[in-house]
Amino acid sequence: MQNFDEHQEVHTKLDIRVWKKILKVMLQKKVPLIMLIVSSLLLAFFDVLYPLLNSYAIKTFFGETPNYSTKIPFIIVYVTSAVLFGVVVFGFIKAAGTLEVEIGYELRKQAFNKVQVLSYNYFDKTPAGWVIARLTNDSRRLSGIVSWGTMEGVWSMATMLGALVVMFIIKWQLALIMVGLIGLIFLISMFFRRKILKAHREIRRTNSKITASYNEGIMGNKTSKTLVLERHNYEGFHDLTDDMKRKSIRAVFYSSIFWPILIVVSYTGLMFILNIGGDMVIKNIIDVATLYLFVSYSLRFFDPVIALANILAELQQAQAAAERIISLIEEEPQIIDTPEIKEIYGDILHPKTENYLDIKGNVTFKNVTFSYVKDEIILDNFNLDVKEGDSIALVGATGSGKSTIVNLVCRFYEPNEGEILIDGKNYKDISLGNLRSNLGYVLQTPHLFNMSVVDNIRYGKRDATLDDVIAVSKAVGAHEFISKMEHGYDTFVGEEGSLLSAGERQLISFARALLVDPKILVLDEATSSIDTETEKAILGAIEKVMKGRTTFIVAHRLSTIRNVSKILVIDKGKIIESGTHQELIDLQGEYYTLYKNQFIDEQVSKSVR
């Protein structure tokens, strides 16, 4: 399921399955839900009670023969009811607010937990803006509508039922007028349901695109400025916002005409009651107090009907948000452990670390075939045997399959055919948590979090001491520049490490990877963003930390891999050359050509400087 294709979300009917999922979330919050239902029922009770009290007062105290003997008890009952009514109002506001917060928290928690366990390929095909909108806008909107909608729904139904019962008991002929109008009101509501739902789905889809555009504009601001794309970005963003404006105006039109029609129909019913009821008063069939009771109930009756129609409209608007956040929560990762493996080792969020295997670092590819897209094979019957402690450099042109090999080692993806063995065991029989807790991965473009240097380095090992952090920082040559910062290791690095140079960010990511003491270390073009001087500073450290660890190096600068155990030259998913640096130089094949050309380019660059 490709979630970014939001046109797939357009349905013509409310999806009961989706709302069952939301109901399950609500039922987890039993205390605020029960308080909300009880307070809403009591609110409806008082709404039915007050017209009865007022009708009694009109008939008893202002009739043709007034009787004031019950005046004091009546005042006491009325004041007590008013106080209790205030308590009930406080109760339902508190309960609805609490339920809204609890549901929002639960939805965000479930969605965020799912984001943690989703497979690598999910983020390849899903824009970040789509995910962010689910975790923020949709969860907030949905929690507000279902909590306050529950209150209004219970109150409306209870008030309508109570009013109808009293009206039928007192004068069923007048009550029939109210019943007849219910069908008409709901027919009108159902007509506008589809219009409002469709309009708001389109708005949500466009809003996600705008969020994604915001994200890309902020993250890619440097590229935009260097390519002078500000005008192009503005025009593209303007088109999106203009589209959302038009769709929003259309939705507002449907909502704005919906309410006046309901009000006209409602007060038409009241007109019939006044006409027929007034005639009954003239004919002495009922008294003025009874007519007041019906008029009062009519007004209170139509308010809940309109509220129910409002709930229906809001649920239609929330359907799009509900569909999308539930689709995220229910999205299944493609790379998962079997139930048997989870039973032994736990899962990513609930690991049983005491059962983890002691991984040594032997890695074997056995007849591995892999493709990201069907019929576009990247690796075809690929075989490789790496012994514990070996360092393997992968060299080749862009798209040759170098990064794919290390992504398969890390089990970000799994082979379509064949198998990958870790210490002679199919790595599908080793839990994801067990495998990745023994991995260290340094990317070409490292991601640092907006926190201090020390917290970034021990991000993968939270219980590490400051001495541990300093030790790995010294090993990779980062301690010197960190110590010169204003607050040393407590210095904040900014969003994505924006306050540091590219080389400093890379060194910190090296330290972070080494702190977890990985058995398998992956350096994916890890030195390509480091200047020559910084590269010299860490080459010695890399050689030291590679000892005793199986290391895969996706190499761009061939000067950094001269001392590895073996160099593999990859072309179209095949190993075309294999050997040490000197062996491949002596072979004078593809590696020799690459090394010679790069050496010449470096010398030319130095001479130009």
Residue range 179-187: mean pLDDT, rounded: 75
DSSP 137: I
> Quick one: 543 and 559 in the same domain?
yes
> Quick one: 197 and 163 in the same domain?
no
> Quick one: 234 and 323 in the same domain?
no
Statement: residue 532 has pLDDT above 80? no
Tokens describing residue 282: 């003239």
Beta bridge partners of 394: 554, 568
Provide the pairing of β-strand 363-373 with 417-422: antiparallel
Q: Please enumerate in sequence order all residues whose Cβ is within 8 A of that of 197, keeping only pairs 6 or more positions apart, or say none.
A: 14, 316, 317, 319, 320
pLDDT at 134: 80
> Quick one: 244 and 262 in the same domain?
yes
Confidence of residue 607 (pLDDT cuts 50, 70, 90): low
Pick from 17-26, 231-240, 397-406: least confident: 231-240
Tokens describing residue 306: 């309109």
Statement: residue 376 has pLDDT above 80? yes
Statement: residue 189 has pLDDT above 80? no
Residue 555 lies in a domain: yes
* Enclosing H/E stretch for 455: helix 453-457
* Enclosing H/E stretch for 521: strand 520-524
Its domain, for residue 416, covers 355-608
Closest C-alpha among 292, 271, 5 to residue 126: 5
Statement: residue 103 has pLDDT above 70? yes
Q: DSSP string spanning 32-76?
A: HHHHHHHHHHHHHHHHHHHHHHHHHHHHHHSSSS---TTHHHHHH
Statement: residue 540 has pLDDT above 70? no
What are the contacts of 110-113 at 24+ separation with CB within 8 A? Answer: 110/25, 110/329, 111/135, 111/139, 111/325, 111/328, 111/329, 113/349
In this structure, how many other beta carbons lie within 10 angstroms of the beta carbon of residue 467? 7
> Quick one: 560 and 498 in the same domain?
yes
Which pLDDT tens digit goes with each residue over 190-235?
777 777 777 877 887 788 788 777 777 776 776 767 677 777 777 8
C-beta separation of 240 from 210 below 8 A: yes
pLDDT at 560: 78
Q: Please enumerate in sequence order all residues whose Cβ is within 8 A of that of 198, keeping only pairs 6 or more positions apart, or say none.
A: 10, 12
Residue 299 lies in a domain: no
Q: Which amino acid is at 502?
A: A
C-beta separation of 371 from 378 below 8 A: yes
C-beta separation of 552 from 523 below 8 A: yes
Q: What is the CATH number of the domain that holds 562?
A: 3.40.50.300
> Quick one: 431 and 550 in the same domain?
yes
> Quick one: 327 and 399 in the same domain?
no
How open is the CA angle 187-191-194, to the nearest 5 degrees?
140
pTM higher than 0.85: no
> Quick one: 38 and 176 in the same domain?
no
Confidence of residue 411 (pLDDT cuts 50, 70, 90): very high
* Integer Cα distance of 142 and 138 in angstroms: 6
> Quick one: 543 and 438 in the same domain?
yes
> Quick one: 61 and 181 in the same domain?
no
> Quick one: 274 and 361 in the same domain?
no
What rounded mean pLDDT belongs to the chain? Answer: 83
Dihedral of alpha carbons 140, 142, 145, 148, sign: negative
Statement: residue 525 has pLDDT above 80? no
What are the contacts of 479-484 at 24+ separation with CB within 8 A? Answer: 481/507, 482/453, 482/508
Residue range 521-530: mean pLDDT, rounded: 72
Residue range 297-304: mean pLDDT, rounded: 75
Residue 384 lies in a domain: yes
* Integer Cα distance of 474 and 508 in angstroms: 11
Distance of CA 325 to the CA centre of its chain: 7
Q: For the chain, report the end-to-end CA distance as a whole number of angstroms.
A: 52
User: What's the domain count of the chain?
Assistant: 3
Residue 290 lies in a domain: no
Residue 413 lies in a domain: yes
* Integer Cα distance of 167 and 273 in angstroms: 12
Which pLDDT tens digit goes with each residue over 42-77?
999 998 898 888 888 888 888 778 888 888 999 999
* Integer Cα distance of 401 and 509 in angstroms: 24
Q: What is the CATH number of the domain that holds 123?
A: 1.20.1560.10
Residue 259 lies in a domain: yes
pLDDT at 528: 60
What are the contacts of 143-146 at 24+ separation with CB within 8 A? Answer: 143/100, 143/101, 143/103, 143/104, 143/107, 144/100, 144/104, 145/314, 145/315, 145/317, 145/318, 146/22, 146/26, 146/103, 146/318
Residue 293 lies in a domain: no
Beta bridge partners of 368: 382
C-beta separation of 431 from 443 below 8 A: no
